[in-house]
Amino acid sequence: MAALDDLRSDVRSWLAENWDPDLTVRQWWSRIATAGWQFPTWPDGLGGRGLTAAEGRAVAAELVEVGALGPPFSLGQVMGAPVVIQQGSDEQRARLVPPLANGTESWCQFFSEPEAGSDLAGLRTNAERDGDEWVINGQKVWTSGALAASRGMLVARSNWDVPKHRGLSYFIIDVDQPGIEIRPLRQMNGQAHFNEVFFTDARVSNDNLIGDEGNGWAAAVATLAFERSGLSNRVPGLSVALPGEKGRMLDRPAGQVAAGPSDTGLGSRAFRSSTEIAGLAEERNILGDRLLRQELMKLKTMGMVSNWSAQRAREAAKAGQSPGSFANTAKLQGSHIGRAAQHLGPRTLGAGGMLAGDDAPHSGQVTEMALSVPSGSIAGGTDEIQRNIIGERGLGLPKDVAVDREMPFRDVPKSS
């Protein structure tokens, strides 16, 4: 405990000398990354100091205390950098991680495919070696933040003559190139957080192959593990680049950005809790409705259970253990809470719950919430995937029967 107190004191002193809300975001993130406080659990020289998860949370708490801008947040910071640190070469770590640490790059994730569904190992995007480069052809879908990304974490099939899990390779590919076409997928809430992406003779250097050729499944599994633990233990911060801004926020004042809301592209997070919806009921003088009170209590209970699951994941991480299926449980519970609020919010607001726009009740946030909820059950892994992980890894249930597990992937029938 004394060591944590000393650490907090060190961070507090550094912030007193260095936090300046008039610095640009670019200047601030460069300064704090160079000092090693940006991602304190990352290695020395890569934006961190090699601290433990508990020590990292202590550092984050000090940033929150003084109102300093937190670290950049994209899939590159949550998943990409940890995978490169764990499985990349020294040269790759030195080249790829610093731009993520100082926030000058954000990455996206090229995993899901239309035909593979929840079977990631069944992907068909092809990677063919051409000298010092690989040529990529195929399609990905549900790619969050692709329009704002500098690079993408790409899993592609480099060998079709071995079983599906052994024929994959993992690349970090530049997004801004002629062979990559990004098509936004417009959501009901009017936003386009997700995209479908087409690769037509796109190129990626062999220097950006993470691990060995054919070892992409191990890197993909590690990426998903970092995603689950990273999102459930998120450090307060802001996305590196908001959709459509691609880097322009880096030149805004850091204090202004720190004071503003974080835009995830998934819609408003307001009116998803029992307390907020109870406020709507009080406004309309309908808190005497017994059925409504019962539904509000159910929503409150779901929120408490979700918080306990997240706390169990944090405590496991604090003890140096894997969060296991706790993070998956919390993610799944978040989807359930969203759907309950999606039903209860508009019902409580009455006819006004059908209206959108600034002149609607509560500026249309209740309607936006209702229209945004379905995307939450897709982002970060679908509910079906979470249930599979909970059943197999948490409860020890047998995996689904897979007749193609040892079959050369070239011989696996293609879904219609």
CA distance 47 to 29: 10
How many CA atoms lie within 13 Å of 412's alpha carbon, on the beta-carbon side?
A: 23
The fold for domain 105-217 equals Butyryl-CoA Dehydrogenase, subunit A; domain 2 (2.40.110)
Q: What is the DSSP string of 288-344?
A: T-HHHHHHHHHHHHHHHHHHHHHHHHHHHHHTT---TTHHHHHHHHHHHHHHHHHHH
Q: Which residues contact 195 (CB under 8 A, 6 or more apart)?
A: 141, 143, 144, 146, 147, 182, 183, 184, 185
The catalytic residue among 227, 276, 295, 368 is 227
Percent of the chain with pLDDT over 70: 89
Average pLDDT, the chain: 86
The fold for domain 2-100+230-257 equals Butyryl-Coa Dehydrogenase, subunit A; domain 1 (1.10.540)
Q: What is the DSSP string of 376-388?
A: HTTTTS-HHHHHH
Decide if 115 is catalytic. Answer: no
CA distance 296 to 292: 6
Position 238 confidence tier, pLDDT thresholds 50, 70, 90: very low
Position 115 confidence tier, pLDDT thresholds 50, 70, 90: confident
* Confidence check: pLDDT of 117 > 80: no
CA distance 362 to 236: 26
Q: What is the pLDDT of residues 24-68, one digit of tens each?
A: 999 999 999 999 999 999 999 999 999 988 888 888 888 888 889
**144 within 8 A of 193, measured Cβ to Cβ:** yes
Q: What is the pLDDT of residues 305-335, one digit of tens each?
A: 888 877 776 676 556 566 567 777 888 888 9
